Amino acid sequence: LPRFLTPGDEIQLGINVMNTTKNGTIAKPEIMLSGPIEMVPGESQSVSIAAGKEGVVYYTLKAKDDIGYGKVTVKVKSFGETFTDETDITIRPGSSLVKIFGEGAVAKNTTATIEMINDFIPSSMKTSLLVSSSPLAQYTCSLQNLLGYPHGCIEQTISKAFPQIYFADFIKATGNTNKVSMITSGDNDLNPVANVNAAINKLYSFQTYSGGLSYWPGENYVSQWASAYGLHFLVEAEKAGYEVNAGVKSKLVNYLNSISNNSMEERDWYYNNGKETARTIISREKIYALYTLALAGSPNRPAMNYCKLHLNKITTDSRYLLAAAFSYTGNQSSYQDVLPKMYVDDNNLQYLGGSFSSPLRNKALVLNTLIDKNMDNPQVISLARELSKNLKEEKYPNTQELAFSFLALGKIAKNKVKAGGKADIYAEENLLGTFSGKDLKITKGFGNGTSIRSNGTADVYYFWTAQGISKSGKVVEEDNGMKVRKAFYNRNHEVISLASVKQNDLVIVKITLASSYATTLNNIVITDILPAGFEIENPRITPEKDLSWTNDQSYSDHFDIRDDRINYFVDLYQDRPLTFYYMVRAVSKGKFKMGPVSADAMYDGSIHSYSGAGVLLVD
């Protein structure tokens, strides 16, 4: 059996029976299945085995249109005894689980009706409805997306943990359905405290000899923004009572002091009347470093004063950070001088690396900074209204945008909880539950058309989620900003057909990625999910030791190998397409679904490419 199956896969199971006795026998295997696996109808089989010989009996198994854990139990009776073998196998989705969300507010004495349209396989569908008196519920979509992000670079490690410092109780109440970033204790007891501690400990592994933090563990390249972000996270975690290694924190402070003492200026790009224009600014990374140093109680006053003298070179979003840095040192006069009277977004480009600047992230960071200094600042209300609207309109928010948006909006919502909200929840005319002030979570019985009928003296808020496997299982194959493709070869560099692969064949998988942009695309993740009939044999093919014709092999910044997939993390240049090779072996006979290879810009989901879905036949 392979290590996993995909719904719809068919596998030819060979049962090898060896007779080590001196007498011949007839063996008749019996197969028992549990979980989402079934037997393809056929005649029961038996095999006559001579003394000292062996025989094979074949059965065809099929994975049902469901996911979960299955078990294959084989029993063979012979010589008056029963021989048993049990194998556990996972049935995983052929493509990503589809998740849909909805959220909103129900004014007192009004009714909201949930519209939950989907084509999920009923047995695969899981649902959850949260009714709360906290406006935080309106932003649970953003929180779920953030906590479910699958990759483990330093920025995403921090972003997934940061909100859990402040909103642990609410995060547990949401019942996050994607456990990628959640540690459990007991049955579905989500543990934000453990998650924050795990992120703190993981952060230590990113620290380099310079004191700064690398983007991936083991790298020498230091990310200035991530280093400041890391100090910001550690300071806030320490304030909340978490234990932080003083040595790691001290080295981070020294590193950020060092870079903020060096040249502050950099070239920046923005759109001016529809034209991309260059300008010289004081680096966002350096300003953020000054902000976090002041927050940590180790301000770099000379660098701060230099920046104050050159406000014309500082972007509007950075001025809020610089002003807050002065305030943390007790210099309220400079705080007032530097703080803008009104927020104007003077950057309309999306940065895929560096400072990760984007209009949405910058606005969220500004709002979070204002709230931490003065919740009563008149700019807070208008910025919160704009940010909430922008976040709901953004189709592909990245982890920086999600983390700072939830931090800012969450802090506001936490202070606006009003008592008196009550509601009854109905599926048609069946009462599912009654909300009377304490967070209410419903996981069964509700679906499309469920109504929330408010009958209290205050508004109530709700969030629902549903996830499952699409009946169609189709993935839209498209190229937007880049083009990823995969091809299959034998060891002689001959293209092979996936309709004629033999068991035990070695197959070379070639993945290519090219950009259609005129600029560098940073932080791209290429993911290739294997069909169940393949297992990775060699993920690191080299032309010198393995195959000479793979001499155009590219090298990734980081890569991650799992049982069922391989991930490459890269930067992509316009004139330098990337090529990767890895070797797989056809381990199981059968018919297996194969998902597309994908390439996504981690900080701009609109830039992506999906290609190459199909079917693998192994004979």
Cβ–Cβ under 8 Å, residues 531 and 616: yes
Q: Is the pLDDT of residue 145 over 80?
A: no
CATH of the domain at 519: 2.60.40.690
Cβ–Cβ under 8 Å, residues 55 and 14: no
Residue 96 lies in a domain: no
Cβ–Cβ under 8 Å, residues 575 and 450: no
Same domain assignment for residues 506 and 445:
no
**C-alpha–C-alpha distance, residues 257 and 77, integer Å:** 74
Model confidence at 190, pLDDT cuts 50, 70, 90, reads low
Residue where the block lists tokens 């479910």 = 148
Same domain assignment for residues 457 and 587:
no
Q: Is the pLDDT of residue 545 over 80?
A: no
Selection from 438, 443, 472, 442 nearest residue 456 by Cα: 438
The pLDDT, as a whole number, for residue 178 is 42
More confident residue, 55 or 99: 55
CATH of the domain at 238: 1.50.10.20
Residue where the block lists tokens 């909100």 = 163
Range with top average pLDDT, 172-181, 193-202, 389-398: 193-202
The pLDDT, as a whole number, for residue 181 is 39
Same domain assignment for residues 511 and 491:
yes
Q: Is the pLDDT of residue 488 over 70?
A: yes
Lowest-pLDDT range of 133-142, 450-459, 545-554: 133-142
Same domain assignment for residues 117 and 153:
no
Model confidence at 140, pLDDT cuts 50, 70, 90, reads confident
Q: Is the pLDDT of residue 372 over 70?
A: yes
User: How buried is residue 77: exposed, middle or buried, by Cβ count under 10 Å (0-12/13-18/19+)?
Assistant: middle
Q: What is the mean pLDDT of residues 317-324?
A: 97
The pLDDT, as a whole number, for residue 447 is 82
List CB contacts of 195: < 8 A, sequence separation 6 or more: 160, 161, 164, 181, 182, 183
The pLDDT, as a whole number, for residue 67 is 80
CATH of the domain at 124: 2.60.120.340
Q: Which of 365, 389, 414 marks a domain boundary?
A: 414
Model confidence at 189, pLDDT cuts 50, 70, 90, reads very low
Identity of the residue numbered 56 = V
For residue 427, give Cα distances in angstroms to 7, 113, 460, 465, 563.
Answer: 31, 10, 18, 16, 41
Residue 280 lies in a domain: yes
Model confidence at 184, pLDDT cuts 50, 70, 90, reads very low
Residue 571 lies in a domain: yes
Same domain assignment for residues 513 and 599:
yes
Angle between helices 399-414 and 359-373 (to 10 degrees): 30
Same domain assignment for residues 61 and 113:
no
Residue where the block lists tokens 């033999």 = 502
The pLDDT, as a whole number, for residue 170 is 67
The pLDDT, as a whole number, for residue 271 is 61
Same domain assignment for residues 488 and 524:
yes
Query: What letter would DSSP give residue 397?
Result: -
Q: Which of 91, 121, 153 marks a domain boundary?
A: 91
The pLDDT, as a whole number, for residue 539 is 75
Residue 598 lies in a domain: yes
Backbone angles phi, psi at 140, to 5 degrees: -65, -30
Q: Share the mean pLDDT of the chain.
A: 87
Q: Is the pLDDT of residue 455 over 90?
A: yes
**C-alpha–C-alpha distance, residues 158 and 229, integer Å:** 8
**C-alpha–C-alpha distance, residues 135 and 412, integer Å:** 9
The pLDDT, as a whole number, for residue 311 is 95
Same domain assignment for residues 153 and 72:
no
More confident residue, 26 or 306: 306
Residue 265 lies in a domain: yes
Selection from 568, 462, 473, 478 nearest residue 516 by Cα: 478
Tens of pLDDT along 502-516?
999 999 999 999 998
Residue 286 lies in a domain: yes
Identity of the residue numbered 312 = N
Domain count, the chain: 4
Q: Which of 91, 116, 149 marks a domain boundary?
A: 91
Same domain assignment for residues 17 and 67:
yes
Q: What is the mean pLDDT of residues 172-201?
A: 61
Query: What letter would DSSP give residue 212?
Result: S
Q: Which residues pair with 56 in a beta bridge?
A: 16
The pLDDT, as a whole number, for residue 379 is 93
Q: Which domain holds residue 499?
A: 479-618
**C-alpha–C-alpha distance, residues 491 and 505, integer Å:** 10
Q: What is the mean pLDDT of residues 56-73?
A: 89
Same domain assignment for residues 269 and 149:
yes
Model confidence at 142, pLDDT cuts 50, 70, 90, reads confident
Structure tokens at 259: 């870079």
Residue 164 lies in a domain: yes
List CB contacts of 94: < 8 A, sequence separation 6 or more: 6, 7, 8, 473, 529, 593, 594, 595
Same domain assignment for residues 192 and 281:
yes
The pLDDT, as a whole number, for residue 578 is 96
Model confidence at 341, pLDDT cuts 50, 70, 90, reads very high
The pLDDT, as a whole number, for residue 172 is 64
Model confidence at 175, pLDDT cuts 50, 70, 90, reads low
Lowest-pLDDT range of 107-121, 180-194, 289-303, 307-321: 180-194
The pLDDT, as a whole number, for residue 274 is 60
The pLDDT, as a whole number, for residue 254 is 98
Identity of the residue numbered 271 = Y
Residue 142 lies in a domain: yes
The pLDDT, as a whole number, for residue 187 is 32
Lowest-pLDDT range of 78-82, 111-115, 127-131: 78-82
CATH of the domain at 70: 2.60.40.10
Q: By three-state DSSP, how is residue 524 classified?
A: strand
* Proportion of the chain above pLDDT 70, given as a percent: 93
Same domain assignment for residues 232 and 289:
yes
The pLDDT, as a whole number, for residue 180 is 38
Q: Which residues pair with 190 in a beta bridge?
A: 184
